[in-house]
Amino acid sequence: MRLRSHTRAGLVLLTTAALALVVPAPSALAQARPVSGQQPPAAPAFTVEEARLDRAVPREILRRGGFDTVAPAFARALGGARSYAAAERVVVRQGQRLWQRAVDRAQGRGPARGDLSRDDDRPLYWARLGMTRELRAWEPGFAVSEAARTRLLGALERASRGQDSMTFAGASGGEDRHGRALKRIVMTGFDPFTLDRDVRISNPSGATALALDGTVVTTADGPARIETAVFPVRWDDFAAGTVEQALRGPLSRADVFTTVSQGRVGRIDVERFNGAWRGGFGDNENLSRTGLVPVADPASQPQWTTTSLPYAAILAAGTGRFPVYDNTSVTEIPAGGAAPVVRPGGPTPGSAARAGGGGDYLSNEIAYRATLLRDRLGRDIPGGHVHTPVLEFGPGNTDPATGTVTDPQFVRNRLDIVAQIRSIIVVAAGA
């Protein structure tokens, strides 16, 4: 995702790529349990994201994706837990099952359980929110503190996003069926976002993550295994370190990494520069954050990081129907200056970041954090951010008030984007 005030049609661009996701607690989680002689507690306060589940479209997506039974089944399993340790096991197991079910559906394994196309990322998103709602409402027969419930929510997030399963066998990525050592590729995507504008929205970066997780691809440098995860569109999760926590281990072993998000209409961009600035556009909780990207050891924090993806090779390859660009433009405050300036050729020495090539939203931020982590780990590997085209509904289905949740052109667009991002990753791994 990318965001700047002059972004086309006000569109936000989003990146795609934690061993310990920290979930920000909503302002009023219901923690109280009834005591003899007292009234039962009020209904739990759900988050802004969870409250959207009450709309008709998310319910339709869950039903037509075959994921409408996920949250009720989770609630039943959680209700059977007789201790915190048992509840934690339920949360992790059910979260991992949800992720694997979504991956299997996207990759053609098992029954589709619905008429939405298999490549659809939205059932996973809405099913996860159904599970977090159930976890907030859960009132066991034993005491659960706010901190303990928050830990369970974090475990559920990590497990259901593939963040705790980004592992590579042994010292390498394992072997293919011919006994050849596999290179290791990390790829990340994002949840759908701007849902108050159109609750039907899908995110092709998340769909790509589901399509590629655990797959083996053939590159010019040999076979490679891809491990993926999906990240939330929430400022506070990023400030809490979810990206670094999820990617530190995988990036220490990876040979290539690509964070991916949805970007501009009709084009793909390899973002050359990433900026240390948050522009404040509202996230999926309708929260805004503006200022320097908060990271550990801010004293050594750079204003800019740079892609190490082989952008020239990517641009030269015929990867698909969408044109691919090497985007070098940024917005900066020049050294000694006071006002932001657009620099088409990249940042100038001593400047302060106001937008990377990927904007000033969470797509730029995941790119910044992942490449900064690469540098702090001392990894000399290809890595950086790719923006997909905007996933558009077909003609006659663009009005969220009257449109349907899917159409043939919408599906074709998503499939084409997924296939082209896969091709770009293959090129990057083989260059």
Cα separation values, 151 from 67, 84, 98, 146, Å? 25, 11, 19, 9
pLDDT band at residue 160 under the 50/70/90 scheme: very high
CA-CA distance, 82 to 235, in Å (whole number)?
A: 34
CA-CA distance, 374 to 371, in Å (whole number)?
A: 5
pLDDT score for 175: 67
* Predicted confidence (pLDDT) at residue 76 exceeds the cutoff of 90: yes
Per domain, the residue ranges of the chain are 8-17+169-430, 48-160
pLDDT, mean over the chain: 91
For the stretch 356-388, pLDDT in tens is: 999 999 999 999 999 999 999 999 999 999 999
CA-CA distance, 172 to 144, in Å (whole number)?
A: 41
Task: Give the residue from 16, 15, 13 showing the smallest Cα distance to 265.
Answer: 13
Stretch 170-199: mean pLDDT, rounded?
Answer: 85
Q: Between residues 164 and 2, which one has the greater pLDDT?
A: 164
What percent of the chain has pLDDT above 90? 86
Strands 183-190 and 222-231 come out as parallel
pLDDT score for 31: 34
For the stretch 210-260, pLDDT in tens is: 999 999 999 999 999 999 999 999 999 999 999 999 999 999 999 999 999
CB 131 within 8 A of CB 152: no
For the stretch 42-59, pLDDT in tens is: 567 899 999 999 999 999
* Predicted confidence (pLDDT) at residue 270 exceeds the cutoff of 80: yes
Task: Give the residue from 194, 205, 11 showing the smallest Cα distance to 124.
Answer: 205
In CATH, 8-17+169-430 is 3.30.70.1150: no
pLDDT score for 168: 84
Lowest mean pLDDT among 166-170, 173-177, 224-228, 308-312: 173-177
Task: Give the residue from 308, 296, 287, 301 showing the smallest Cα distance to 232.
Answer: 287
pLDDT score for 18: 33
pLDDT score for 43: 60
CA-CA distance, 191 to 212, in Å (whole number)?
A: 16
* Predicted confidence (pLDDT) at residue 293 exceeds the cutoff of 90: yes
For the stretch 78-94, pLDDT in tens is: 999 999 999 999 999 99
Q: Between residues 25 and 187, which one has the greater pLDDT?
A: 187
pLDDT band at residue 429 under the 50/70/90 scheme: very high
Stretch 3-30: mean pLDDT, rounded?
Answer: 37
Q: Between residues 38 and 300, which one has the greater pLDDT?
A: 300
* Predicted confidence (pLDDT) at residue 292 exceeds the cutoff of 80: yes
Q: How far apart are the first and last CA of the chain?
A: 26
Stretch 106-127: mean pLDDT, rounded?
Answer: 98
- What burial class does residue 145 get, using C-beta atoms within 10 Å of its C-beta: 0-12 exposed, 13-18 middle, 19+ buried? exposed
pLDDT score for 180: 74
